[in-house]
Amino acid sequence: MGIVKKLEVSRTEGLTYSESFLQNDDLLPVPEDKRTWGHWNFIAFWIADSFNINTWMIVSSMIQLGLSWWQAWICVWIGYGLVSPFIVANARPGAIFHVTFPVVARTSFGVWGSLWCVFNRGAMACIWYGVQASIGGSCVLVMLRAMWPSVNNIPNHMPESSGTNTRDFMCFFLFWLISLPAIWFPIDKIRHLFTLKAIIVPIAGITFFIWCIVKAHGVGPIIRQPGTLHGSALGWGMVSSIMSCISNMATLVTNAPDFASRARHPSAAGLPQLISVPLGFSIVSFFGVIVSSSSQAIYGEAVWSPIDLLGKFLDGNPSHATRFGAWFIAASFIVAQLGTNISANSISAGCDLTALVPRFINIRRGGYVAAIVGLCMLPWNLLKSSNSFTSYLSAYSVFLSSIAGVMITDYYVIHRGHYRVKDLYNVRKDGWYWYTFGINFRAYAAYLSGIIINVVGFAGATGRDVPLAATRIYEMSFFTGFGVSAIIYYTLNMLFPVRGVHECTRFEEVDVSADVDSVGSEEGQERDFDKKSMVSEGIRSVRSNV
């Protein structure tokens, strides 16, 4: 029993058994001294997040589809421009009430019903942590080759069944190892890593950009390559490309409150994100186009992966200047992958796993759990079957867009900005978020509807014959999933209004916990809750901020 007690995380004493499943210090509203993210921190966060290898290569699939480079680049601008308002919209409750995604999800799905949504997002974060770490391992290989070329010739002692070799696993493990200290820092402190990345990595990207143009004596043939799609095929090709950008951001749309909960002012999570998301991702993808076009002039084929291209620079007998340049750029991409893994996966997994096991897991421990899962899942095997893995990711964006559709509709349309923060942390039957046995079946009906409309189209994406209309619906899966779930959720709430909705007559972002009628048994229940919980302090800070 003593060992179990030592394993518990910091939380409020005297909680009931049910309440112990709903709160610990990382699930309560963020204290004022930890709301340290200002406007520039959110800008730096998205600049840092956009500089990664996936963004660098995102245009490649569009050009292979038949678009010209400028058509593909327009798709990137439109895609990230369309998704940024969804990020801002879902971040808003986190910025106002200073609670993370798992707690915000309780308002629409219920105190227990939210756990499935949290599990979905947490599982996705753990999988992506391993994938991004595997990509980071390839950056480590190039950096080591630049210093010690013999690293490339390390003999293999791994069995064929492992799916990798000694050299690649060593590089993966090194990247995994150097990521562990970054997980230790809390969200209010880790912002400094994103600021550092936002300075170093763009310098490396610009250096790489100029270096390749000089080496190729121009921008290369891809810039002059016309598109091969015309008419409706071109239109749907661009739609598909735009949606691929949006689908890549579905995970960050869903858990936007995690970072917004640390906002110094609600406005910090608004306009800075709205502008920096499309700007950052579009600039990085442009670098990717030009560098890959230059590579075709140099090697006779387009090399879309910047790490593969750096590896080619190191083949043969490169000069000391070439080796130093490759080392600097590869080291910067290591920082890029590290920052992306922390922002998009480690912190997200930490917040989600905290809600699943609040007695024993906080955000820091959850981040380390994600790292362990990422190591054990052998992510290099997922990357080998890229087609099936990409199909899986596209399907998963449908799950997440349906969750976002319910959450955003609930906040802006149903409850109109009103929260009862106390009810997020207790299981009182008269609480706003108790619904039916802690589950809001309206939300689940809407959530499943947003998934079902895309099921037939997903079957077509896996190779089965399906009607063209189903394929078109699936190609717009984020909007169809989001839109259907939002409409169904709104309709069900009009037919079967939830508790407290009649009190939300106008849109007003306010915590109404203190306005509850303090008569009868409810008064006694609330006094008990205040004695046992520190949530009331969080409520006071929320109200003063609003």
Q: Where are the domains of the chain?
A: 3-224+246-511
CATH fold for the domain made of 3-224+246-511: Hydantoin permease (1.10.4160)
First to last CA, the chain: 43
Residues 6+ positions from 443 with CB-CB distance below 8 Å: 108, 109, 110, 113, 406, 410, 489
- Note the residue count of the chain: 546
Q: Cα–Cα distance between 447 and 229 in angstroms, integer?
A: 35
DSSP annotation string for 154-223: PPP-S-GGGSS-HHHHHHHHHHHHHHHHHHHS-HHHHHHHHHHHHHHHHHHHHHHHHHHHHHHTSS-GGG
CB 460 within 8 A of CB 382: no
H/E segment holding residue 63: helix 53-65
* Phi, psi angle pair for 510, to nearest 5°: -150, 150
Q: Cα–Cα distance between 447 and 486 in angstroms, integer?
A: 8
pTM of the model: 0.89
Provide the residue-wise pLDDT of the chain in tens; the chain has 546 residues. Answer: 577 677 777 777 777 777 788 888 999 999 999 999 999 999 999 988 888 888 888 888 888 888 999 999 999 999 999 999 999 999 999 999 999 999 999 999 999 999 999 998 898 899 889 989 999 999 999 999 999 998 988 998 888 888 889 999 999 999 999 999 999 998 888 888 888 888 999 999 999 999 999 999 888 888 888 888 888 889 999 998 998 889 888 888 998 999 999 999 999 999 999 999 999 999 999 999 999 899 988 888 888 889 999 999 998 888 999 999 999 999 999 999 998 899 889 999 999 999 999 989 999 999 999 999 999 988 888 776 545 555 566 567 778 899 999 999 999 999 999 999 999 998 888 899 999 999 999 999 999 999 999 888 887 777 788 888 888 898 888 999 999 999 999 999 999 999 888 777 889 999 988 665 443 344 444 434 443 344 444 444 443 443
| Alpha-helix runs per DSSP H in 410-476 | 441-452, 455-461, 468-475
